[in-house]
Amino acid sequence: MDLKDYIRSIPDFPKPGILFYDVSTLLAHADAWQVTMGRMAKAARAHQPDVIAGVESRGFLVAAPLALKLGCGFIMVRKRGKLPGATIQHTYQLEYGEDTVEIQDGAIEPGQRVILVDDLLATGGTCTASIELLRKVGAEVCAMACIIELGFLKGRERVDVPVHALVTYDE
């Protein structure tokens, strides 16, 4: 099954000149969603994760069912101020300014094997920051997995763990 057949392209969203790859059409198609999760599980299983970490917010849609399918835990990597209780933060630089990602304190035990999951890998900025955050608390980040990779943005080059992408767009 070619998963690209189930991903909708929306021009000029969220602003002019951007071509947005919408996974909601993939999620809505039961067979395509089953195939997607099966392929993600096969890629992830090889790394023997203890925990799947999903990146806010569309990454949650992939990471939570993947964790369930693999029989491991799921944690959320969120923007600052969205998680209750004590958190561990990591601030990183953007092209114009900075942003912060965080996880709940105690969500990861030192030495746990973690796979970071998102719906899409673009420039790799949030992915790299999330990996640094997970390492800050002692996680062994063993891979990153996503449904879509925008290969032309070269985000994979910034990520220092194996990257598993089910679909790649090169232009």
- Assess contact for 26 and 40: CB atoms under 8 A: no
Looking at residue 97, its pLDDT comes to 84
Mean pLDDT value across residues 135-153: 97
Quick: pLDDT tens for 61-72.
Answer: 999 999 999 999
Quick: pLDDT tens for 36-60.
Answer: 999 999 999 999 999 999 999 999 9
Q: Is the pLDDT of residue 104 over 80?
A: yes
Active-site residue list: 58, 95
Closest residue by Cα to residue 88 from 73, 113, 110, 72 = 110
The terminus-to-terminus CA distance of the chain in angstroms comes to 21
Looking at residue 93, its pLDDT comes to 87
For the chain, give the percent of residues with pLDDT over 90. Answer: 96
Looking at residue 122, its pLDDT comes to 94
- Assess contact for 121 and 149: CB atoms under 8 A: yes
Report the chain's mean pLDDT, rounded to a whole number: 96
